[in-house]
Amino acid sequence: MREAATTANTAPSRLRSLRWRLLGAVCAAVLLLWLLTGWLSYTQAQHEAEELMDGNLAQTGRLLLAILHDNEDDLRELAGRLATVRGAAHDIYEPPLEFQIGRGDGTILARSENAPHLPVLGVAGYSDILRTDASWRVLNVMSDDGRFRVQVAQSIALRDRAALEVAGQTVLPLALLAPVLILLIYLSVLRALRPLDRLAGEVTARSPDNLAALPDQDVPTEALPLVDAINRLFQRVARTLDNERRFTADAAHELRTPLAALKVHTQVARLCREDVQRDHALQQIECGVDRATRLVEQLLRLARLDPLNSLPTPGAVDLRGLVEDAIEAVYQANPGAPRRITHALQTDTPAVAGDPDLLQIALRNLLDNALRYTPPQASIEVKLDDDGSALSLAVCDDGPGVPPDTLARLGERFFRGGDSSVEGSGLGLAIVTRIMALHGGRLALTNRPQGGFRAALCGLRRAAAR
Amino acid sequence: MRILLVEDDLLLGDGIRAGLALAGYAVDWVHNGEQALAAQAGHCYDACVLDLGLPGKDGIAVLQELRRRGDLTPVLVLTARDTQADKIGGLDAGADDYLTKPFDLAELQARMRALLRRAGGQAQPVLSHRDVTLDPASKRVTCGGRDMALSAREFALLQELMRHPQHIRSRSQLEESLYAWGEETGSNTVEVYIHHLRKKLGADFIRTVRGLGYQLGEGR
């Protein structure tokens, strides 16, 4: 499984690597350009070589004509003498001179040994004679008075070789420079991407708890947005980690106090000699166990809610039933409390979309707070507000309200406002806040202008009509 | 001996008070920092047990305020946080000792004894005067090598006198060290306990200094 993942990772990594893509693209472009330049230089050089050799032919032809003019009688010797300056058969720099000299009527007066057997009466000018055994480039010229004709020829095979040689010499340095060019490109790409490697190295070498921001000097402009995003992510993760750490520390703190109380009371019970004192200690132990149990339950509830991204069992919730059940549950949890919670929800109250169990927990926590933190004679009422798009379920009392500095911190985990003689874990409102977040709503805590406190589950959406 | 307990948790506070009372201390219990400072200003306590996690003014702030006033009462700090920084912070703020929750009652009692011993400037854990010895840890009193049976109040009163053999303690001072707030005191209870102690340890073991109070008899 792991191996498969690794190979799957490496195979496309070259394709995805910025370095390899950059190298590939630049090299391909350079090679294409280089090939084009090479081909153009090659054909250009070939063409120039051919023109030069044509010029050579013309010069030779005219030279022969000029010589003929005054040496008509010594033509046989001339052919013999010319044979000595004919050059070598395969030397492209001194190609052999092949010629025929004739009169205006076409009779051959003299010719070189290897000259092609062609009539000297052909049209004046250049022509290519293509034959299977040997092809020739031929130039026919005629004297001004028309008495003599001269035909010079060069072997096309030899001419081609010469052109090839010249063109090759032009292209060779280009070909030799290509690897150097590619090496240079490779090195510059490597150098340009080095800051990214450094960055990656820095992130890799980090210990998991090092969430300090990455340095953003020496970072290429293109990578800055990424570094900024990473640094912002680091900040968020650090905040989350910080919250988690604080939560764990607070949870330990909150658990340690009841545990310490349990231990002390147990030891008191063992040490004391009077029954009354022992009974009191045992009773306190029972209270302590209840309290630790409640705290653990709430911690677990919060721990289960925290990782959720959506509601576990969404459905349509009948608000009136929910409110009545919650009120009953709160009375049961606080036996002896006066029955002072009322509600004004009608039977035709619309259903809302949500998780019935979670909403019930949220409402119960609010009612429980209202019951415990208001004087016994204060009245508590559950109200439904409908602003058309969303519904709010509010628990209102006419008690003393909450001081502003306390109000700002309510809902913080383990923060306990008000009377420290009232027992509580400091997690109730944190749980409500989380439940409302899962419902896409929020918990609104305000002092009412006419006095008293209002805690509302806001932003509940109507259930889709069935 | 009278001890101030500062603890906001009702359950834990009740337990500590009961535990310290079992060890013979008179314990006054307050629930927050402001009350603690007020109590400390009004009485002279032999020691203070201070929880750091208090609502409102926290334990460290209370401690700093006490020390700023020049109050030298030995303070034992209770904390639920056990990181080194928390411990160091508590000690540097002026605490004499600390305990991490949850703790053992016996350890709390032993630390209180040590704290009081140091505050009284004595090295020996066992107090002695003439042929009478008093061991605060085992609650044993011997006279001429024989174990004496004393009630808790008698023991506390004797301990109070033996801590400073030369000091003269007034009746009200002794009363204060025996009873916490709200405990009923008879008008002549101190006299009654003194009478009992004289019967058990010898009539001249405790001297009455007319108009001032009581003092241990001179050493022989």
In this predicted model, what pLDDT tens digit does every residue of A394-416 receive, in sequence order? 999 988 888 888 888 887 777 77
Determine the pLDDT at residue A4.
44
Domain A315-460 has CATH 3.60.15.10: no
CB-CB under 8 Å, A261 with B31: no
Determine the pLDDT at residue B28.
92
Paired tokens of A348: 């035709």
Half-sphere exposure (Cβ direction) of B125: Cα atoms closer than 13 Å: 11
Residues whose CB is less than 8 angstroms from the CB of residue A139 and which lie 6 or more positions away in sequence, other chains included: A54, A57, A58, A61, A125, A126, A127, A151, A152, A153
Q: How confident is the model at residue A83 (pLDDT cuts 50, 70, 90)?
A: low
What is the β-pairing status of strands A341-343 and A351-354? unpaired
CA distance A289 to chain B (A): 11
Sign of torsion, CA A241 A246 A249 A254? Answer: negative
Distance from C-alpha of A365 to C-alpha of A303, rounded to nearest angstrom: 17
Instruction: Give the start-to-end residue ranges of the domains of chain A.
Output: 22-168, 221-305, 315-460
A138 in Cβ contact with A126 (< 8 Å): yes
The whole-angstrom distance between residue A193's C-alpha and the CA centroid of its chain comes to 16
Which residues of chain B are within 8 Å of residue A277 when distances are taken between CB atoms? Answer: 18
Which residues of chain A are within 8 Å of residue B19 when distances are taken between CB atoms? Answer: 264, 267-268, 271
- Say if B106 is an interface residue toward chain A (CB within 8 Å): yes
Q: What is the mean pLDDT of residues B145-162?
A: 87
A322 in Cβ contact with A359 (< 8 Å): yes
Determine the pLDDT at residue B18.
92
Nearest neighbour of A284 by CB, restricted to B11, B32, B55: B11
Query: Residue B185 above 80 pLDDT?
Result: no
A271: nearest CA partner in chain B: B22
A278: nearest CA partner in chain B: B18
Cis before A338 (ω within 30): no
B158 in Cβ contact with B197 (< 8 Å): yes
Nearest neighbour of A260 by CB, restricted to B12, B81, B106: B12
Paired tokens of A48: 């120039």
Determine the pLDDT at residue A6.
45
At A151, phi and psi to the nearest 5? -125, 120
Of the candidates B29, B4, B26, the residue with the CA atom closest to the CA atom of residue B14: B29
Task: Give me the long-range contacts of A447-451 (CB less than 8 A, separation at least 24).
Answer: A447/A401, A447/A402, A447/A404, A447/A407, A448/A396, A448/A398, A448/A401, A450/A398, A451/A398, A451/A400, A451/A401
Distance from C-alpha of A380 to C-alpha of A384, rounded to nearest angstrom: 14
List all residues of chain B from 25 to 84 with a beta carbon under 8 Å from chain A. 31-32, 53, 55, 78, 80-81
| Beta bridge partner(s), residue A456 | A394, A444
Look up the CATH number of domain A221-305. 1.10.287
Distance from C-alpha of A117 to C-alpha of A133, rounded to nearest angstrom: 13
Q: What's the complex ipTM?
A: 0.77
Task: Give me the long-range contacts of A225-230 (CB less than 8 A, separation at least 24).
Answer: A227/A199, A230/A203
Average pLDDT over chain A, rounded to an integer: 83
Fold of the CATH domain B127-216: Arc Repressor Mutant, subunit A (1.10.10)
**What are the b/e assignments for B200-220, b being 16+ CB within 10 Å?**
ebeeebbeeeeeebbbbbeee
CB-CB under 8 Å, A288 with B103: no
Largest CA distance in chain A: 164
Query: Residue B74 above 90 pLDDT?
Result: yes
- Say if B12 is an interface residue toward chain A (CB within 8 Å): yes
Query: Residue B194 above 70 pLDDT?
Result: yes
Q: How confident is the model at residue A3 (pLDDT cuts 50, 70, 90)?
A: very low
Distance from C-alpha of A262 to C-alpha of A295, rounded to nearest angstrom: 14
B205 in Cβ contact with B132 (< 8 Å): yes
Sign of torsion, CA A360 A365 A368 A373? Answer: negative
Distance from C-alpha of B55 to C-alpha of B32, rounded to nearest angstrom: 7
Count the neighbouring beta carbons within 10 Å of the beta carbon of residue A366: 27
Lowest mean pLDDT among A52-61, A388-397, B174-183: B174-183
CA distance A304 to chain B (A): 25
Of the candidates B2, B102, B118, B120, the residue with the CA atom closest to the CA atom of residue B51: B102
Of the candidates A190, A260, A157, the residue with the CA atom closest to the CA atom of residue A17: A190
Distance from C-alpha of A447 to C-alpha of B72, rounded to nearest angstrom: 44
Where are the strands (E) in A275-336, listed by range? Answer: 315-318
The residue count of chain B comes to: 220
Determine the pLDDT at residue A381.
92
- Say if A288 is an interface residue toward chain B (CB within 8 Å): yes
Where are the strands (E) in A1-147, listed by range? Answer: 98-103, 108-111, 125-129, 136-142
CB-CB under 8 Å, B102 with A272: no
Q: What is the mean pLDDT of residues A257-275?
A: 90
B141 in Cβ contact with B147 (< 8 Å): yes
CB-CB under 8 Å, B12 with A258: yes
A287: nearest CA partner in chain B: B11
Distance set, CA A339 to CA A151, A234, A343, A373, A399 (Å): 134, 51, 12, 15, 15
Q: How confident is the model at residue A420 (pLDDT cuts 50, 70, 90)?
A: low
Sign of torsion, CA A268 A274 A276 A278? Answer: positive
Determine the pLDDT at residue A7.
45
Fold of the CATH domain A22-168: Beta-Lactamase (3.30.450)
Distance from C-alpha of B194 to C-alpha of B209, rounded to nearest angstrom: 13
Which residues of chain B are within 8 Å of residue A416 when distances are taken between CB atoms? Answer: 55
Q: How confident is the model at residue A2 (pLDDT cuts 50, 70, 90)?
A: very low
CB-CB under 8 Å, A265 with B9: no
Q: What is the mean pLDDT of residues A32-51?
A: 87
A270: nearest CA partner in chain B: B19
Query: Residue B76 above 60 pLDDT?
Result: yes
Ranges in chain B annotated CATH 1.10.10.10: 127-216
Which residues of chain B are within 8 Å of residue A421 when distances are taken between CB atoms? Answer: 10, 31
Nearest neighbour of B18 by CB, restricted to A256, A268, A287: A268
Q: How confident is the model at residue A285 (pLDDT cuts 50, 70, 90)?
A: very high
Query: Residue A85 above 70 pLDDT?
Result: no
CATH architecture type of domain B2-119: 3-Layer(aba) Sandwich (3.40)
Q: How confident is the model at residue A144 (pLDDT cuts 50, 70, 90)?
A: confident
At A38, phi and psi to the nearest 5? -60, -45
